[in-house]
Amino acid sequence: MPPPSQLAIATSAVNRLIKEESSYHKEVEQQKARIAKLEANNGDEYEMKQEKQALDETHKVFPALHVKIKDAVAKLEAQIEQEKGGETATEEITKAKDAVAAGKIAVRETA
């Protein structure tokens, strides 16, 4: 089996970052639910403070993650341009273009 091409590596990087962003969004929702549950049950102030702090820290991850996604998308777009005249399979180029579109959507939705 041949090693993955640079295009495949760049595509995987974008997809990984998109999944990472998605998992952080899920984490935010879970933390909000825990905070709401604590507020509804008049929970311990210390525990509520810790949950709110965790939520704030999760929100602080997004700007840096968006920069990483933008950089990875830019590298992938450059790689697609390099591969256009080459012998790269059209399926690989299609996956790369899909990853570019998904990356741009991920950054735009949360910006």
36: tokens are 């709401």
DSSP label at 42?
T
**Does the residue 31 lie in any domain?**
yes
User: Residues of the chain with pLDDT > 90: what percent?
Assistant: 61
Domain containing residue 59: 6-110
Cα dihedral 42, 47, 48, 54, rounded to 10, equals -160
3 pLDDT above the threshold of 80: yes
Query: Do residues 96 and 77 make contact, with C-beta atoms less than 8 angstroms apart?
Result: no
User: What is this structure's pTM?
Assistant: 0.86
Query: Do residues 68 and 15 make contact, with C-beta atoms less than 8 angstroms apart?
Result: no
DSSP one-letter string for 48-84 = HHHHHHHHHHHHHHHHHHHHHHHHHHHHHHHHHHHHT
From CA 81, how far away is CA 57, in angstroms rounded? 37
92 pLDDT above the threshold of 90: no
In the chain, how many domains are there? 1
Q: Taking Cα atoms as reference points, which of 109, 107, 91, 65 lies closest to residue 11?
A: 91
**Does the residue 1 lie in any domain?**
no
Q: What is the pLDDT of residues 12-24, one digit of tens each?
A: 999 999 999 999 9
47 pLDDT above the threshold of 80: yes
Q: What's the CATH code of the domain at 26?
A: 1.20.58.90
**Does the residue 78 lie in any domain?**
yes
**Does the residue 70 lie in any domain?**
yes
